[in-house]
Amino acid sequence: NAGVTQTPKFQVLKTGQSMTLQCAQDMNHNSMYWYRQDPGMGLRLIYYSASEGTTDKGEVPNGYNVSRLNKREFSLRLESAAPSQTSVYFCASSLGGGYNSPLHFGNGTRLTVT
Amino acid sequence: GQQLNQSPQSMFIQEGEDVSMNCTSSSIFNTWLWYKQDPGEGPVLLIALYKAGELTSNGRLTAQFGITRKDSFLNISASIPSDVGIYFCAGQTSGTYKYIFGTGTRLKVLA
């Protein structure tokens, strides 16, 4: 049982390049999330998908787009990478809202933009 | 954006000592979660709390959902070297799917 799988694990981009971070979960969860983690800032929500077919902005959505491809997969796209997007990106999933629905995280994608 | 106030930011303790950390918010939450993150890995769920006043244990870890619903506490008893890591709290308000995270408590255990 893999849980939440993120690819790639590491990526280096030049300013202006684009890329897509992939996330898949095998827990039959309804909700999926993208967070970024920066030193001293904790985890900040970029986008989330409460259920298949819906997406909503979180705290820091600028510069990102997302796609909920199906129930299992939720991708994060950087159209034109900037150095300020250097961070560790975590995907998470949950059963979906309400009681007994904590987040389960992947192991992250470490992105450096030069 | 909204963030939780988590304290302390970091702490050094001796092996065998008890540890306490807490999170406070200006908002009322209906769920509190506590996570531990090891270097190079994603956060792992330790304890989930769903009711004001609730006290829940997981081995040497005990967490409480504050009565005001604006705070939560995590205690670790008899710390061991593998307790080293960053501990995060997270809260969720009623009717939303979003979880807000604290800035973390970095724990270092001296053998």
Q: Is the pLDDT of residue B1 over 90?
A: no
Percent of chain B with pLDDT over 90: 84
Instruction: State both tokens at B51.
Output: 């009711």
Taking CA atoms, B87 is separated from A106, B50, B75, in Å, by: 16, 19, 11
What does the DSSP assignment read for B26-43? SS--SEEEEEEE-TTS--
Question: pLDDT tens, position by position, for chain A (114 residues)?
Answer: 679 999 999 999 999 999 999 999 999 999 999 999 998 778 999 999 999 999 999 999 999 999 999 999 999 999 999 999 999 999 999 998 666 789 999 999 999 999
Tell me the Ramachandran region of residue A79: left when phi exceeds 0, alpha when psi lies from -120 to 50, beta otherwise: alpha
pLDDT of residue B109: 87
Selected residue of A29, A33, A43 to mutate for chain B interface (largest B Cβ count, 10 A)? A43
A32 CB near a chain B CB, below 8 Å?
Answer: no
Measured between alpha carbons, how far is B52 from B38 in angstroms, rounded to an integer?
A: 29
Q: What pLDDT is attached to residue A7? A: 97
A64 touches chain B (CB under 8 A): no
Above 70 in pLDDT, residue B89?
yes
CB contact under 8 A, B101 and A44: yes
- pLDDT tens figures, B26-70: 989 999 999 999 988 999 999 999 999 999 999 999 999 999 999
Pairwise CB contact (< 8 Å): A108 & B103: no
Higher pLDDT, residue B4 or B57: B57
**Chain A CA closest to residue B40:** A107
Any CB–CB contact under 8 A between A35 and chain B?
yes
Contact call for residues B73 and B20 (beta carbons, < 8 A): yes
Instruction: Kindly list the residues from chain A whose CB atom is less than 8 angstroms away from the CB atom of residue B100.
Output: 45
pLDDT band at B111 (very low <50, low <70, confident <90, very high): confident
Subunit contact B101:A90, Cβ cutoff 8 A: no
